[in-house]
Homo-oligomer: A and B are copies of this chain.
């Protein structure tokens, strides 16, 4: 515990309160000094437990709020999710500076970035994901459907948008634990080549394919999407594009151009933005190194346009991601003792903030979830209507 708060500490707290003036939050220092909400009844109290947390917030709030929260130097008493939502609403949109430079995620950087997040251990993810281990936005036919049902519904939605036909060859870039690849093979009779640079995920997926007797129809390849070869009727990628990074979007476009048949179709499912904006620096540091959620415009300009691909259909499912994250967060909270035993308290707090912060980002419209269906520009082998 720091010493009693000084005038400078209280000035700093006032400055923080002003920076999110429209957010109904109380602010408190380690010695009990409090500044009440100036925006109506508070949804939570932000408690600074030492001077360093207070001033690090002023220095770089985007990074250090997360740092201080994860190490226990800031606490949020009350509703964490609502607190994050009102902060997002108060801050609004900060466009990406024009001078932004993004480093390239080359093949080895991409592997390392993926390893940091997705190789935390399948046992960890099993604690709070659905039975099928799908770690992307679900599709809830109604908000009352279960997470399990909604992940199946999402996979089926993707297959229906792609008009998969028995016997077709599918290339999947970034296949997670293999759920979609196995689903497509099982229910639509297609042959799938599924790529992923996470060795833990690929090993898990291969065991599932064998256990399900689907290893003839699904080939799991531990490799970067850039190394894909061969020609396919369908290209699909669910939840990978946000890890590619702007500087390497052209490599994804080139892969699609090289691998997709003239009468083929493709689908990209990814976290995006309405306006170009960097991912929160704390999320980039602690959760998703190298990640960048793009705007549709950036994807069209750098991935689809160079190969004369034609956009057929776009759907924004951001409210479904907010609900997916609510399910994950509740399950994670429920399993937090087990997570603490696997890792430590800092890990639990970091992941709680990440899950609640992501939910708030989708529920307040700071982030979007886009599904984009496309086809080669000259192909007339495209659906006549959505009802078809």
Q: With A and B bound together, what is the CA distance between A175 and B132 in angstroms? A: 50
**A157's closest neighbor in chain B, by CB?**
B385
Q: Which of B139, B296, B363, B387 sits near A311, CB closer than 8 Å? A: B296
Which residues does chain B contribute within 8 Å of A379, judged by CB atoms? 365
Which residues does chain B contribute within 8 Å of A313, judged by CB atoms? 314-316
Q: Which of B300, B305, B384, B386 sits near A142, CB closer than 8 Å? A: B384
Say how far A99's CB is from chain B's closest CB, in angstroms. Answer: 18
In contact, A315 and B274 (Cβ under 8 angstroms)? no
Q: With A and B bound together, what is the CA distance between A319 and B309 in angstroms? A: 16
A364 at the interface (CB under 8 A from B): yes
In contact, B89 and A378 (Cβ under 8 angstroms)? yes
Q: With A and B bound together, what is the CA distance between A17 and B302 in angstroms? A: 35
Q: With A and B bound together, what is the CA distance between A125 and B315 in angstroms? A: 36
The quantity of this chain's copies bound in the complex is 2
A22 at the interface (CB under 8 A from B): no
Instruction: Encode contact with B along A125-168: 1 for CB under 8 Å, 0 otherwise.
Output: 00000000000000111110000000000000000000000000
Which residues does chain B contribute within 8 Å of A304, judged by CB atoms? 274
- Report if A305-B274 is in contact (Cβ < 8 Å); known contacts: A311-B296, A314-B313, A365-B310: yes
Interface centre among A141, A311, A368 (most CB of B within 10 A): A311
Which residues does chain B contribute within 8 Å of A384, judged by CB atoms? 140, 142-143, 319
Q: With A and B bound together, what is the CA distance between A312 and B365 in angstroms? A: 11
A382 at the interface (CB under 8 A from B): yes
In contact, B385 and A386 (Cβ under 8 angstroms)? no
A297 at the interface (CB under 8 A from B): yes
In contact, B386 and A365 (Cβ under 8 angstroms)? no
A251 at the interface (CB under 8 A from B): no
Say how far A230's CB is from chain B's closest CB, in angstroms. Answer: 25
Q: How many residues of A contact B (CB 8 A)?
A: 42
- Report if A380-B314 is in contact (Cβ < 8 Å); known contacts: A300-B297, A305-B275: no
Which residues does chain B contribute within 8 Å of A311, judged by CB atoms? 274, 296, 314, 316, 368, 370
Say how far A357's CB is from chain B's closest CB, in angstroms. Answer: 17
In contact, A365 and B385 (Cβ under 8 angstroms)? no
**A378's closest neighbor in chain B, by CB?**
B365
Q: With A and B bound together, what is the CA distance between A130 and B387 in angstroms? A: 24
- Report if A312-B308 is in contact (Cβ < 8 Å); known contacts: A295-B300, A300-B295, A377-B93: no
Which residues does chain B contribute within 8 Å of A140, judged by CB atoms? 384
Q: With A and B bound together, what is the CA distance between A140 and B386 in angstroms? A: 12
A301 at the interface (CB under 8 A from B): yes
A contacts, CB < 8 Å to B: 89, 93, 139-143, 274-276, 295-297, 300-301, 304-305, 308-316, 318-319, 363-365, 368, 370, 377-380, 382, 384-387
Given A297-B300, A316-B382, 14 more contacts at CB 8 Å?
A274-B304, A274-B305, A275-B308, A276-B305, A296-B297, A297-B297, A297-B301, A311-B316, A311-B370, A313-B316, A319-B384, A363-B380, A365-B378, A386-B386
Question: Could you give 18 example pairs across A and B, Cβ below 8 Å?
Answer: A93-B377, A274-B308, A274-B311, A296-B297, A296-B300, A300-B300, A310-B316, A310-B318, A311-B314, A311-B368, A311-B370, A312-B316, A313-B315, A314-B314, A319-B384, A363-B380, A365-B377, A365-B379
- Which 9 interchain pairs have the tightest Cβ spacing? A314-B314, A297-B300, A365-B377, A297-B297, A274-B377, A365-B378, A312-B316, A297-B301, A274-B310
